[in-house]
Amino acid sequence: MAHLQPLAEELTREWPEILEVDRRLKAELASQVPLMQEVIDHLSGRGGKKLRPRLVYLCGNFAGADHRPDPAAIRDVATAVELIHLASLVHDDIIDRSRTRRGKPTANALWGNHVSVLAGDYLFAKAFNLLTRHNQYGVVEIASATIAIMCEGEIEQAEQAYDCDLTFDQYFRRAERKTARLLAASCRVGAAVSRAPAAVQDALEVYGRQMGYAYQIVDDLLDLTADRKVLGKPVGADLRQGIVTLPVVFLLQDEGWRAKVAPLIAARAVTAPVIAQVRKGLKESGAIRRSFEVARQCVAQAQEALADLPAVPERDVLSGLTEYVLTRSN
């Protein structure tokens, strides 16, 4: 991947590898059932940054010049990881009753829950179909374990809805399950396909996990602070559904603000005025600053995991991506 530019600009640039992932994805998903094809076209046409396939490719370059990964294997594994991500988004939109994602209508908004459930299952099945062709790298096991854990994270989130006593540790355990595990797995499978040594695979997995935590925290911050138009979805959507995120955990640690907002959250009455008050509290209590500080610490740990890896150009890109995670606006 000699064409790499260091730093975060890489994410907005169209790599030839990512264009190939796009083609592969469309070819694999092609269905003879017209309605399925229509849903698939909608889902695969929404764009997105393809962060996870990029991680797969980048992490496939740490095993030395003699261990370049098989191009078909790394392409298929990168495609499968994106399929798993897409499937989880489709099912999350059912769970959250979301009407828009990335500024476009969700599949459940357009076709209803029944079609969305099946479209998500189809994406999962197609992901495994791709992975099994390259199972000598152990990728099916990593993927299946990751999906099971993601489901547990989402169920845990439902269980913890409107819980004003959610702890910092509980939040992190959920972020691990919901988000960090898939980023960690993306890094690990990339390394695995290149047959990198176990220590290299471990370090890249740590990088992915810490990036995942930071990504989730910034997501939580954006949900409460960003502009509706930039975000492509309503402000405070998480809290409206009772999802208590890190900024809110910190806000509730402030006694004065806790007295004001905890009863409203616990009463499951999170209306627009409540969101407005929470936003005020987040700023005044320092909860935003504290959350961002935690994200920054995670990124520092991600950087640390990179330190002992071979100094290939891809390491600089991974390092630059940490900046992107902290500064992204949607």
**CA 186, 221, 226, 187: dihedral to nearest 10 degrees?**
-10
Q: Is 19 in the site for its own copies (CB under 8 A)?
A: no
d(CA 252, CA 246): 10
Closest CB to its own copies among 53 and 120? 120
Q: Is 164 in the site for its own copies (CB under 8 A)?
A: no
Q: In this structure, are residues 199 and 207 in contact, taking their beta carbons and an 8 Å threshold?
A: no
Region near its own copies per CB under 8 A, out of 71-79, 115-123, 191-199, 221-229:
115-123
Residue among 43, 20, 21 nearest 31 (CA): 43
Q: In this structure, are residues 275 and 239 in contact, taking their beta carbons and an 8 Å threshold?
A: yes
Q: What is the largest CA-CA distance in the chain?
A: 62
Q: Is 152 in the site for its own copies (CB under 8 A)?
A: yes
CB of 85 to its own copies, least distance (A): 13
Q: Is 169 in the site for its own copies (CB under 8 A)?
A: no
d(CA 158, CA 319): 34
CB of 311 to its own copies, least distance (A): 35
Q: Is 32 in the site for its own copies (CB under 8 A)?
A: yes
Q: Which of 21, 43, 73, 143 binds its own copies (CB under 8 A)?
A: 143
Q: What is the tally of helices (H) and strands (E) in the chain?
A: 17, 2
Q: Which of 140, 164, 275, 326 binds its own copies (CB under 8 A)?
A: 140
Q: In this structure, are residues 2 and 313 in contact, taking their beta carbons and an 8 Å threshold?
A: yes
Q: Is 134 in the site for its own copies (CB under 8 A)?
A: no
3-state helix, strand, coil in the chain (%, to 5): 75, 0, 25
Residue among 316, 183, 174 nearest 245 (CA): 174
Closest CB to its own copies among 39 and 217? 39
d(CA 329, CA 221): 10
Binders of its own copies in range 80-109 (CB under 8 A)? 91, 94-96
Q: Which of 60, 120, 212, 247 binds its own copies (CB under 8 A)?
A: 120
Q: Is 113 in the site for its own copies (CB under 8 A)?
A: yes
Q: Identify each DSSP E strand in the chain by its residue range.
A: 100-101, 104-105
CB of 73 to its own copies, least distance (A): 15
Closest CB to its own copies among 154 and 223? 154
Q: Looking at residue 136, what DSSP letter applies? A: G
CB of 70 to its own copies, least distance (A): 18
Contact residues for its own copies, defined by CB under 8 A: 31-36, 39, 91, 94-96, 113-115, 117-122, 124-126, 128-129, 131-133, 135, 140-141, 143-145, 147-148, 150-152, 154-156, 158-159
